[in-house]
């Protein structure tokens, strides 16, 4: 397919502006361009076809099954888009006088109230723009809290190796050092290792739950107790709250701070760098440290004055109230589900993952025993040794069968990992088709493993050089 610049032909345009009938007001030389912008010249029909053709070369949740582990690529009901698209929400300016934005304030307050109830927290802040940004914000709360008590020695964050990759990165960004603790053979936190890691230098623990191998740690109460007794705080990575929401609450499990990925669990389509919201919730003793705007305390009513700050706030982590429309979608989603149906989301997420795991068990056994939560991990280590077929080959072969590939080579604690998250919105028929696709690839592995190294055959791009793509990305069009 040609780039839009390659289709361009000088002199063609589709502007319909009338001739200018006011005097030119030239820009100052500092602000004026030195050269005219190089814009492609096409007619409207060509532009329309160009973008329509581009839209057919992607694979999104609207195209088919998208079991990308840890990403929750689920179907997001269109009514949430409709509601967040109302002109009163999209046309608002963040610098408008407050009395003209009461409706938007109310959206934030209601969303905070519901999310606090779901997470078991007392305050919610919507400034962070994504999950990792929420982690960073939450850890700054830990830091501010310990500093406010003059407890400067607490510089370490304990992170199990089954955590999401962003957890250690956020801890380092927030100025902590990371103490990594290995998981046991059951994929859960090794309690003895945690006990010996926790001490007077512990600022806190970050726990991804369910963890990246899809397990809800059965010792979670003991884990949070050990950290609290050592004087540390507990952080819950709740990016994948769709696995537990309405059933269990981080706040009841001994966690002091949580972030929720509204763009995963609460109905904002994501991927490709779209807008997100890593809402951060905390217990009341930490709320004075929250960012200076975008905070709602649970239980405040519309029009109530913004919470006052004691001057201990960590400051701003983003402009204004964060990605407001993501919060509006989340609220629409919560309204349409209602309190009764929120647990149903979690039950379906867990049911779908276990259903698919069971269907694959014989040929692609799960790397950890027992039922999973919203996702499960299989390992192709043995298959690779026996037949030379890697996790990458499997992922590519699934593309030929009309599926988005699962997450591969993550988590790092499983070799040749394939991490599968079907999400709650897939039907039994889709899961059966997916299982059939996996099993037909298994047949190919036994009979014709060479052919798998050639996959995918039916996609627009076949096997790009992934190392070159990462090391030397071509991000800009350079005219030939
Ligand atoms: C996706 C995810 C994150 C990071 O969220 P971003 O919005 O991508 O920054 C953190 N933790 C877990 C468990 C996740 O699944």
Q: Are residues 49 and 140 in the same domain?
A: no
- Confidence (pLDDT) at 309: 52
Gap from CA of 131 to ligand 1 centroid (Å): 5
CATH code (residue 414): 3.90.1150.10
- Confidence (pLDDT) at 117: 96
Q: Are residues 177 and 49 in the same domain?
A: no
Gap from CA of 62 to ligand 1 centroid (Å): 22
Predicted structure pTM score:
0.91
Q: Are residues 220 and 116 in the same domain?
A: yes
Gap from CA of 332 to ligand 1 centroid (Å): 22
The phi, psi pair for 68, rounded to 5°, reads: -75, 100
Gap from CA of 267 to ligand 1 centroid (Å): 15
Regions of the chain with pLDDT less than 70: 294, 297-310, 480
User: Does 476 map to a domain?
Assistant: no
User: In this structure, which residue's CA is closest to atom 6 in ligand 1?
Assistant: 131
- Confidence (pLDDT) at 477: 75
Split into its structural domains, the chain has a count of 3
Range of the domain at 141: 81-333
User: Does 75 map to a domain?
Assistant: no
Q: In what order do the strands lie in the sheet with 202-208?
A: 177-181, 156-160, 202-208, 233-238, 257-261, 278-282, 123-125, 295-297
Which of 166, 268, 277, 330 to probe ligand 1 with, by most ligand atoms within 8 A of CB? 166
- Given 333, 360, 378, the domain boundary residue is 333
- Confidence (pLDDT) at 305: 41
H/E segment holding residue 408: strand 407-408
User: Does 411 map to a domain?
Assistant: yes
Q: Are residues 288 and 391 in the same domain?
A: no
Nearest to 72 by CA among 262, 301, 332, 318: 262
User: Does 25 map to a domain?
Assistant: no
Q: Are 374 and 242 in contact (CB under 8 A)?
A: yes
- Given 282, 298, 333, the domain boundary residue is 333
Q: Are residues 118 and 160 in the same domain?
A: yes
Ligand 1 environment, Cβ below 6 A: 70, 130-132, 164, 166, 208, 237, 239-240, 261, 276, 278
Gap from CA of 132 to ligand 1 centroid (Å): 6
- Confidence (pLDDT) at 326: 97
Neighbours of 201 (CB within 10 A): 15
Neighbours of 408 (CB within 10 A): 19
User: Does 26 map to a domain?
Assistant: no
- Confidence (pLDDT) at 299: 58
Q: Are residues 162 and 92 in the same domain?
A: yes
Q: Are residues 114 and 169 in the same domain?
A: yes
């Amino acid at each position: 397919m040609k780039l839009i610049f390659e289709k361009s032909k000088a002199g063609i345009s589709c502007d319909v502006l009338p001739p200018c009938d006011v005097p030119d007001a030239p820009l100052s030389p500092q602000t004026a361009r030195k050269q005219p912008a190089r814009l492609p010249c096409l007619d409207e029909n060509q532009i329309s076809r160009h973008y329509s053709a581009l839209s057919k070369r992607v694979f999104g949740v609207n195209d088919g099954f998208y079991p990308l582990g840890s990403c929750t690529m689920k179907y997001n009901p269109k009514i949430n888009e409709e509601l967040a698209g109302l002109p009163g929400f999209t046309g608002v300016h963040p610098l408008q006088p407050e009395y003209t934005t009461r409706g938007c304030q109310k959206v934030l307050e209601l969303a905070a109230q519901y999310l606090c109830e779901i997470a078991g927290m007392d305050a919610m802040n919507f400034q962070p723009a994504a999950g990792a940004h929420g982690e960073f914000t939450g850890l700054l709360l830990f830091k501010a809290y310990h500093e406010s008590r003059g407890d400067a020695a607490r510089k370490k964050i304990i992170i199990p190796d089954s955590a999401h990759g962003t957890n250690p990165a956020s801890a380092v960004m927030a100025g902590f050092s990371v103490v990594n603790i290995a998981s046991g053979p059951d994929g859960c936190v090794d309690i003895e290792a945690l006990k010996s890691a926790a001490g007077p230098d512990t600022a806190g623990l970050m726990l991804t739950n369910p963890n990246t191998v899809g397990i809800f740690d059965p010792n979670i109460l003991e884990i949070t107790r050990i950290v609290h007794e050592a004087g540390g705080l507990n952080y819950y990575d709740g990016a994948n709250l769709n696995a537990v929401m309405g059933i269990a609450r981080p706040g009841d499990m001994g966690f002091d701070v949580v972030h929720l990925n509204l763009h995963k669990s609460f109905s904002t389509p994501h991927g490709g760098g779209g807008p997100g919201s890593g809402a951060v919730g905390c217990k009341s003793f930490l709320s004075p440290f929250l960012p200076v705007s975008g905070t709602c305390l649970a239980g405040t009513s519309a029009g109530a004055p913004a919470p006052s700050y004691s001057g201990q706030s960590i400051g701003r982590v983003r402009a204004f109230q964060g990605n407001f429309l993501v919060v509006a979608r989340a609220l629409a989603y919560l309204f349409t589900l209602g309190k009764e149906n929120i647990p149903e989301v979690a039950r379906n997420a867990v049911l779908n993952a276990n259903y698919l795991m069971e269907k694959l068990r014989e040929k692609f056994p799960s790397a950890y025993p027992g039922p999973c939560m919203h996702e499960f991990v299989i390992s192709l280590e043995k298959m690779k040794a026996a037949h030379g077929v890697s996790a990458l080959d499997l992922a590519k072969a699934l593309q030929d069968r009309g599926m988005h590939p699962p997450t591969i080579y993550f988590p790092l604690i499983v070799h040749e990992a394939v991490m599968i998250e079907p999400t709650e919105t897939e039907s039994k028929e889709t899961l059966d088709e997916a299982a059939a696709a996996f099993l037909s690839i298994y047949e190919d592995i036994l009979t014709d493993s060479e052919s798998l190294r050639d996959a995918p055959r039916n996609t627009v791009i076949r096997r790009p050089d992934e190392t070159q793509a990462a090391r030397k990305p071509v991000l800009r069009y350079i005219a030939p």
